[in-house]
């Protein structure tokens, strides 16, 4: 059996993985203005749904929005500046694409692992490993 025949056989035997968008239901950001600060009220809920640490999500949102921010004592994110819910939602979507969904199968069954000093996004569904 040559390589092409083995590859065809392997593809035939591999199960079809269908991305299921219902499995990951990220809540819409609940934001409000307090002077020159935007408060992301349900920040903790969003982080829990994404199964990611608030610090990691916060760092990404700061870079994406181009502002400084912190997490207050009530686990709300507070951004310096005026940002609407749509802008924060777009940033969360970018985070989800980059750090939550598997680049191979599109499923949200991923976690971070460190291997030889590099951080990898590892998919529990298909076994894919990709650098972050």
State mean pLDDT over 66-94.
93
**Confidence (pLDDT) at 16:** 64
Confidence of residue 117 (pLDDT cuts 50, 70, 90): confident
Q: What angle do CA 27, 28, 34 make, to 5 degrees?
A: 125
pLDDT (tens digit per residue) in 1-60: 788 888 888 888 776 655 554 567 888 999 999 999 999 999 999 999 999 999 999 999
Sequence spans of domains, the chain: 26-100, 104-132
Token pair, residue 50, equals 């994404």
pLDDT (tens digit per residue) in 97-114: 999 998 888 888 889 999
Which CATH number is 26-100's, of 3.30.30.170, 3.40.630.10, 1.10.287.3510, 3.40.640.10? 3.30.30.170
Question: How far apart are the C-alpha atoms of 56 and 92, rounded to whole Å?
Answer: 12
Phi and psi dihedrals of 57, rounded to 5?
-65, -45
DSSP annotation string for 68-117: -EEE-TTS-EEEES---HHHHHHHHHHHHHHHTS-TTT--S-EEEEEETT
**Confidence (pLDDT) at 32:** 93
Contact by Cβ (8 Å): 34, 79: no
Instruction: Give burial (CB, 10 Å; 0-12/13-18/19+) of 22.
Output: exposed
Confidence of residue 65 (pLDDT cuts 50, 70, 90): very high
């Amino acid at each position: 059996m040559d390589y092409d025949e083995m590859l065809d056989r392997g593809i035939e035997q591999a199960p079809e993985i269908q991305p299921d968008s219902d499995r990951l239901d990220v809540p819409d950001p609940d934001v409000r203005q307090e002077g020159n600060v935007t408060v992301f009220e349900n920040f903790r809920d969003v982080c829990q749904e994404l199964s990611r640490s608030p610090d990691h999500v916060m760092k990404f949102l700061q870079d994406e929005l181009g502002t400084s921010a912190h997490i207050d004592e009530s686990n709300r994110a507070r951004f310096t500046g005026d940002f609407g819910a749509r802008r924060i939602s777009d940033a969360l979507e970018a985070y989800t694409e980059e750090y939550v969904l598997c680049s191979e199968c599109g499923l949200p069954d991923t976690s971070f692992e460190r291997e030889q000093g590099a951080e990898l996004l590892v998919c529990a569904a298909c076994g894919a490993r990709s650098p972050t």
